[in-house]
Amino acid sequence: MRSSSETPTDHLQSVVKSDASLQLLLFVDKRTTAKEQILQISKYLDTLKPDCDFDLHVVEVSEQPYLVEYYKLVATPALVKIRPEPRHILAGSNLVSQLEESWPYWQHALSANDLLDDQLNVEEDTTSFADAAQLMQLSDQMFRLRQENEALQDQLKFKDRMINMLAHDLRNPLTAATIALETLAGQWDEDNEVIRNLSSALLQRLTKHAHAQTQIIERMITNLLEASQGSEPDLKTHPKQLDLGGLCQEIALRVQNALKAKSQTLKSDIPPDIPNVHADADQVQQVILNLLDNAMKYTPEGGEIQLLVLHRTTQKVQVSICDNGLGIPQEKQQYIFDNQYRLDRDQDESGYGMGLAHCKRIVGNHYGEIWVDSAPNHGSSFHFTLPVYR
């Protein structure tokens, strides 16, 4: 009898090289009853020793899973007769009684096999089992390598997405900070070393705005560095009481220059009695700016964009951003929030798909929902909800 401490290669070689007329594999797991099962089978086979030369190989299933797959075993303990043919598998807790019933048939097979060998004067080909088992082992190793390779590929793709997303999202705060600083620089009087034509209140507002935008940029870069340490890390959200109406009005003012460049108009409907929400201001700002950026991209020159805020229920506030652009085909709408999904028309452009997956993560972290209503050539309306602050 062979020990389960054998390596897979040693085990295969022992099976192939054995001269025993009856070769058996006993599959067991790591339960405490395994030793008793091995002992029971061995004792019974010892009683057959005078009539049959046998070789029993014990296999611990977790150590050689490819053999389990090769024999398509579904339960342990299991006893497999691999020689002589045909193969026979016994499984269950009553192996000894099954073996007693099967022994007369096995003995007949042994006699027939010995007679055939004598008549043909050839040795039985025992390499097929070893070859097949080694192939299963290699297949198992290849499967693990493929899994590791896919995990590495996913990490690389995720980091590429984060870099693209950062480049996309940085434009808004960077543009806002640049405008504020250029306004200050344009009023600077070098001769008198003072800022002309700006009230102290406006000066303070521009300086504070530029500082706030640089902080947003810094947080985005920090998030990217954290993401580079692994794949799909948890998005860190720091919710607090947020004046959503005020934030939307501030964003509407901030995108005016971009709207003018395409002769577009932004109509806002932000009721003054909108309740505060419980949300991370920086992340909600990212969502709104991403959706507005997409709306401006897909709305033709002279088109209209709407920014609407609705107190939807006592528990939720809804923000909607609507355009009269190209629209999205019905069959594609369920995919546009997936990572790296691109509409056919957008393969060479940034736009829908670049930041929508990130928007979905942010809204989901706020226990909200995000969805789209759209039809080709009739524009798109993106909606998301946030929880009311209590």
Over residues 34-59, the pLDDT tens digits come to 888 888 888 888 887 766 777 888 88
pTM: predicted TM-score of the whole model, two decimal places:
0.49
Residue 8 has pLDDT above 50, yes or no: no
DSSP 387: E
Higher pLDDT, 340 or 118: 340
237-390 topology per CATH: Heat Shock Protein 90 (3.30.565)
CATH class in words for 142-233: mainly alpha
pLDDT bucket at 7, cuts 50 / 70 / 90? very low
Range name among 161-165, 173-177, 287-291 with the lowest pLDDT average: 161-165
**Cβ count within 10 A of residue 377:** 8
DSSP 175-201: HHHHHHHHHHHHTEETTTTEE-S--HH
Residue ranges, CATH 1.10.287, the chain: 142-233
Higher pLDDT, 197 or 44: 44
| Contacts of residue 175, Cβ cutoff 8 Å, sequence gap at least 6 | 257, 258
Higher pLDDT, 190 or 318: 318
Q: What angle do CA 49, 54, 59 make, to 5 degrees?
A: 130
Residue 3 has pLDDT above 70, yes or no: no
Give the helix/strand (H/E) hosting 323: strand 316-323
Residue ranges, CATH 3.40.30.10, the chain: 8-124
Higher pLDDT, 180 or 164: 180
Region 215-228 average pLDDT: 66
3-class secondary structure, 312: coil
Residue 9 has pLDDT above 60, yes or no: no
**Which residue bears the tokens 């524009």?**
379
Higher pLDDT, 270 or 390: 270
CATH 3.10.310.10 fits 8-124, yes or no: no
Residue 274 has pLDDT above 90, yes or no: yes
Q: What is the pLDDT of residue 342?
A: 55
Residue ranges, CATH 3.30.565.10, the chain: 237-390
Residue 246 has pLDDT above 90, yes or no: yes
Region 121-140 average pLDDT: 56
Q: What is the pLDDT of residue 83?
A: 77
Q: 283, exposed or middle or buried, with CB in 10 Å at 0-12, 13-18, 19+? A: buried
Give the percent of the chain with pLDDT over 90. Answer: 21
**Which residue bears the tokens 């107190």?**
311
pLDDT bucket at 242, cuts 50 / 70 / 90? very high
